[in-house]
A and B are shown apart, each in its own frame.
Chain A
Amino acid sequence: MSDLQRLMMEPTDHHAQALFAGLSDISISQDIPVEGEITIPMRSHIREFDSSTLNESVQNTIMRDLKAVGKKFMHVLYPRKSNTLLRDWDLWGPLILCVTLALMLQRSSVDSEKDGGPQFAEVFVIVWFGAVTITLNSKLLGGNISFFQSLCVLGYCILPLTVAMLVCRLVLLAEQGPINFMVRLFVVIVMFTWSIVASTAFLADSQPPNRKALAIYPVFLFYFVISWMILTFTPQ
């Protein structure tokens, strides 16, 4: 007799026996193996992590990260109040953008004038230390955003200014003059406002309500300085 049957035949409550009356004639024989697959409908993330991201091809890994970065670029270009940038933060996008910007902004080594534009290291340091300072500032003011989430948002919102840099470089290939400068000024101003709007859309909710302006002003200063560097870039 199996354990279950023994349990059923014990002299328990009459009430309980009446409840379990229908079950007394169930018997589970020991030579029927109980096996099978249990599928739980969970997010596809978990299945990836517990199975084989090690065994997948390199192309899969790179494409997955590139798609995540691309999705975040789309979120910056069409800023809506969404949490995607904050929830799945990554620093690939800011790194790519910062390196691109610094490469394009550095003064050429041919002309080693004493007081020229910034070097690659100076742009890099300004972007990253500026972002760290703004993050520290917003955390000290009492914002409830994590350190890397804030770095992620600030880095991704440099995307419009990088686009402005590319456009300026192309415009500078044409002849120089006031019209040239006006076009560049217009492009930089538009992209600067776009950056501010995008980063405010993501960051504003995490600040305490009576300190929002205090937290947003450093962001304004940061993008203003980067826009200034882009606008005053002159090819040697």
Chain B
Amino acid sequence: MAAVGDLQFEEFGNAAATAAENPGATTISIEGPGESPTHQAGLPRGSGGEEDDELLGNDDSDKTELLAGQKKSSPFWTFEYYQTFFDVDTYQVFDRIKGSLLPIPGKNFVRLYIRSNPDLYGPFWICATLVFAIAISGNLSNFLIHLGEKTYHYVPEFRKVSIAATIIYAYAWLVPLALWGFLMWRNSKVMNIVSYSFLEIVCVYGYSLFIYIPTAVLWIIPQKAVRWILVMIALSVSGSVLAMTFWPAVREDNRRIALATIVTIVLLHTLLSVGCLVWSHSCDLPVCLRYKC
């Protein structure tokens, strides 16, 4: 939205003169009210003519920007308020997942994909899928280890689902909360250009966990070397998405605090991934002692 100072009408005497002065700026000529203005969606806007464009409002990108600022206007006790967090289409979710799998150095996940439309669909269902993927793959790998032993009795180990669910959902909500609190506190001390809302942080964390779903499935392979290579790859992809997202937010701060923040983020992520995978693929202690797995 335009600041108060921008609402002064500037005098544009001669379009040609202003074009000559600022070769970089673009000018738009706006016809009178009787004629239909010939705007197209891709037309670049001049610096001073933005108020006129918004008033006319038949430019699609204008409309979406205008509406995006008015998105969350329902009170929090209505259903519509929560619908604004699920305002994504299928292709948008796929794009965000792709962005979390292929971190491009220099491109910020939040700015590139989320673009002030954070959704809760992705984080919630990715976490749910991850919970079941970890539990099922742990169960399967235990089964395959003891395959062929006559005295082994297969158990479905259903309790792992509840424990995995608690850990993963707690991570996906509490760590973003702590990080957001920390960034707000640092923001009050050091003026940062980039600041994220709580939902955007939850969104980044949720989508960054996607890489662990194929990792958990592939961990069924019983070779130790394969497992550790897989976890290294997943950690580097996921950690780099998080690091590249939060580096611009702490960059202006004290050098040591910035580095400590990024290191903590990556460390917690490592703890979650390695801890969950190792725990779910470990067998029951009495069974282990009996079969020396």
A→B interface (CB under 8 Å): 113-118, 122, 137, 139-142, 210-214, 217-218, 221, 224-225, 228-229, 232-234
Contact = CB atoms under 8 A, between A and B. Distances in A.
A140 B85 contact: yes
Residue among B86, B129, B154 having the largest count of chain A Cβ atoms under 10 Å:
B86
B236 to A, nearest CB: 27
Given A140-B83, A140-B86, A211-B90, A232 B156 contact: yes
Contacts of B89: 210-211, 214
Contacts of A233: 156
Contact of B121 (A115, A137, A139): A137
Interface of B: 79, 82-83, 85-86, 88-91, 93, 121, 125, 128-129, 132, 136, 139, 153-160, 284
Contacts of A142: 83, 86
Nearest to B89: A210
Contacts of A210: 89-91
A234 to B, nearest CB: 6
A234 B156 CA distance: 8
Given A115-B284, A122-B158, A221-B128, A141 B86 contact: yes
19 contacts: A115-B155, A115-B158, A116-B157, A117-B156, A117-B158, A137-B121, A140-B83, A140-B86, A141-B121, A210-B90, A210-B91, A214-B89, A214-B93, A217-B125, A221-B125, A228-B132, A228-B136, A229-B156, A232-B139
Contacts, number: 65
The 10 closest A-B pairs by CB, nearest first: A140-B86, A232-B156, A210-B89, A115-B157, A118-B158, A213-B90, A117-B156, A141-B86, A116-B155, A214-B90
A141 B122 CA distance: 12
A214 B132 CA distance: 18
A217 B129 CA distance: 10
A52 to B, nearest CB: 40
Secondary structure type dominating chain A contacts: helix
Nearest to A114: B159
B90 A212 contact: yes
Contacts of B85: 140
Contacts of A118: 156, 158
B275 to A, nearest CB: 19
B158 A116 contact: yes
Nearest to B80: A140
Nearest to A229: B156
B154 A234 contact: yes
Given A218-B125, A221-B132, 14 more contacts: A115-B155, A116-B155, A140-B82, A140-B121, A141-B121, A142-B83, A210-B90, A214-B88, A214-B93, A221-B128, A221-B129, A228-B132, A228-B136, A234-B156
